Structure 1
Amino acid sequence: MAEILLAFKAGRAFRTEGSNTVVPSGTKGAILLTSGDDGLLHFIWKNRVTNTVEEDLILFPFDASFIKVSQSQGRVYVLKFSSSNQRHFFWMQDASDSRDAEFISNVNGLLMDPEYDMRWNIPITSTAPQASTSTAATQPAAAASASSGAANFAATPEQLATLSQMLTSMSGRTGTASRPDVSLTDILTPATLGPLFESHPELIPALFPHLPPDLPVRPSVEALQQIIHSPQFRAAVSNFDQALRTGLLGGLVRTLGLPEEAGTGVGPFLRAIQEQADRESNNSMDTD
């Protein structure tokens, strides 16, 4: 099964015949970079309305770059190839442009090296590389919202139940779920999780069965502290947060007992987790 390395909302744009003008299409879509079953890097454009793949390009290291169209009027980018004159145009469809630079930086990192260690939540002082082209483009005024689909995130009902307990215990934090810019990386931090493990030691045996089996440590608060401070943990949280923002997890969350809407964004996911925790709490009181 192909592994999704990166995913974000983006629509396609098309050059008007006989001109240098590129016109964005309003169709809701997503760009996915995957490591295919063939061992090669795939650049995929997926229609978020029909949930079908409409473009699947095989990329080789150092052959392509994803750069901003410098004279565009919006967030328009072009996928260029050094080995040919191919040009594929896209425009960013997330309502906020706050993460554009991160996505573009990671796309280009993967285009250079499919094993590139992606970086998230870091200050980016330089602007994204821009295409040297006379192409003019305009962006539709309305940004796209998410639709359902699937992404490569593996979780178990037990993990989901544990996360329910954790979010329930974070008094005051889950209330921020209605904020459109809420991020799991702002919630599942060492500063938040550390005190939680100290005050709820019963979470430790519940969490350890879902961690890598080759961890050279025994279950303990100290071991969990090491894990949540690790780059691997921060990357996993960022990847899950990113997958939720693409709106491609609707199919997955249904298998975990959550409504499909929970897979369409970070806010809906947190609300669904909280509602599930509230139901479990009420059921527990009813059976006491």
Structure 2
Amino acid sequence: MPDTRIAFKAGRAFRREGTNFVDPSPTKGAVELVNGDDDLLHFQWRNRVTNETEEDLILFPSDASFNKVAQSAWGRTYVLKFSSSDQRHFFWMQNADASRDAEFVMNVNKLLADPSDDPVWLPAVGSSEPTASGSNTQRELTQTERDGIQNFVNSLMLPGGAAGSNEHDVALSDILTPANLTPLFTSRPDLITALFPHLPPDLPSPPSAETLQQIIASPQFRAAVRNLDQAFRTGLLGGLVRGLGLPEEAGTSVEAFLRAIQEQAGKEGEGGESMDTD
């Protein structure tokens, strides 16, 4: 199964015929570096409107580089160049915040040099360790599962705001800790039933609080939480949050996700109706 190593929002740009000028296309997109089923590294461009992969380039170690176009008047245009040919593929960053551009470019070039290398991410604010990227399998959630997961997230909320008074310090690795989760599984057995379908199928059945306590204390769980933190920082979790009945903007950061969950819970508590929209 393909494994996404890096993903970030980026549009394509095209050289104007007969000139050195490059014009950006307004189409919303994402650059994704993927380990394919062929065990090769693929540099892909995905259309975020149609969700179709429209460009798929196979990369060999040290054959390509991803660098800023120095002549770009805007400053956020990048080119993928190959040493074995004169191919040039241009992209422009579509994240509103440019603060992480250099971090994405650094990790792209790490993988272009050595596809077996692991991307290293700067820690999120409020976190004390770097993380490595990972991939997640997405599917549409049932209404029962959606309500259960929403209740679970609501249980993590603190009065006065999303997960604390200083929402900009939020990281999932600081929230989904054994100290926070264990009391929830003990006091809210309904959460166990809602979460269990999303856990590995080889776990003991029926589900129990003890089983989940072992899971959340494991290094694998901590690594998965750090990967999800990183996925939120890429801003590419729109499909997952839509499955929860949340606006796509909720997939742009942990803070936005928790805030959207809290707002949705408030509306439903007032008797409002939540609907999925694209």
TM-score by length of 1: 0.66
Match of 1:102 in 2: 103
Q: How far 1:232 moved relative to its partner?
A: 4.9
Question: Using CA pairs below 8 Å that are at least 6 residues apart, which structure has the higher relative contact order?
Answer: 1
**Per the alignment, do residues 182 and 70 of structure 1 end up closer, same or farther by CA in structure 2, a change over 3 Å counting?**
same
**Per the alignment, do residues 119 and 18 of structure 1 end up closer, same or farther by CA in structure 2, a change over 3 Å counting?**
same
> In the TM superposition, what whole-angstrom CA distance separates every residue of 1:154-201 from its partner, at most 9, and x where no partner exists?
477659834642443321475379x9x968xx3312366344135434
Match of 1:234 in 2: 226
Q: Which amino acid aligns with 1:72?
A: S
> In the TM superposition, what whole-angstrom CA distance separates every residue of 1:4-48 from its partner, at most 9, and x where no partner exists?
222111111122233322222222211111222222211111222
Q: Percent identity?
A: 47
Q: How far 1:89 moved relative to its partner?
A: 0.9
Q: How far 1:278 moved relative to its partner?
A: 5.9
**Per the alignment, do residues 109 and 41 of structure 1 end up closer, same or farther by CA in structure 2, a change over 3 Å counting?**
same
1:212-231 alignment runs, 5 A limit:
219=211, 224-225=216-217, 227=219, 230-231=222-223
* Secondary structure of the corresponding residue to residue 99 of structure 1: helix
Structure 1, gaps ≥5 residues long: 124-150, 284-288
Partners of 2:99 and 2:53 lie apart in 1 by: 26
Query: Conserved in 2, the CA contact under 8 Å of 1:9 and 1:94?
Result: yes
Q: How far 1:97 moved relative to its partner?
A: 0.6
Q: How far 1:233 moved relative to its partner?
A: 3.5
Please give the root-mean-square deviation of Cα atoms over the aligned residues, in Å: 3.9
TM-score by length of 2: 0.68
**Per the alignment, do residues 99 and 176 of structure 1 end up closer, same or farther by CA in structure 2, a change over 3 Å counting?**
farther
Match of 1:54 in 2: 54
Partners of 1:66 and 1:72 lie apart in 2 by: 15
Residue 27 of structure 1 pairs with residue 27 of structure 2:
yes
Number of aligned residue pairs: give it.
Answer: 245
Q: How far 1:111 moved relative to its partner?
A: 1.5
Partners of 2:87 and 2:160 lie apart in 1 by: 47
1:209-288 alignment runs, 5 A limit:
219=211, 224-225=216-217, 227=219, 230-239=222-231, 241-242=232-233, 245-246=235-236, 249-250=238-239, 252-254=240-242, 256-259=243-246, 261=248, 265-266=252-253, 269-274=257-262
Residue 16 of structure 1 pairs with residue 12 of structure 2:
no
Partners of 1:167 and 1:120 lie apart in 2 by: 28
* Secondary structure of the corresponding residue to residue 103 of structure 2: helix
Query: Conserved in 1, the CA contact under 8 Å of 2:12 and 2:29?
Result: yes
Partners of 2:95 and 2:263 lie apart in 1 by: 26
Structure 2, gaps ≥5 residues long: 125-134, 204-209, 272-278
1:1-288 alignment runs, 5 A limit:
1-73=1-73, 74-122=75-123, 152-154=136-138, 161-162=148-149, 164-172=151-159, 175=162, 186-190=170-174, 193-197=177-181, 199-202=183-186, 206=192, 219=211, 224-225=216-217, 227=219, 230-239=222-231, 241-242=232-233, 245-246=235-236, 249-250=238-239, 252-254=240-242, 256-259=243-246, 261=248, 265-266=252-253, 269-274=257-262
Deviates more, 1:68-77 or 1:13-22: 13-22
**Per the alignment, do residues 249 and 209 of structure 1 end up closer, same or farther by CA in structure 2, a change over 3 Å counting?**
same
* Secondary structure of the corresponding residue to residue 216 of structure 2: helix
Q: How far 1:153 moved relative to its partner?
A: 3.1
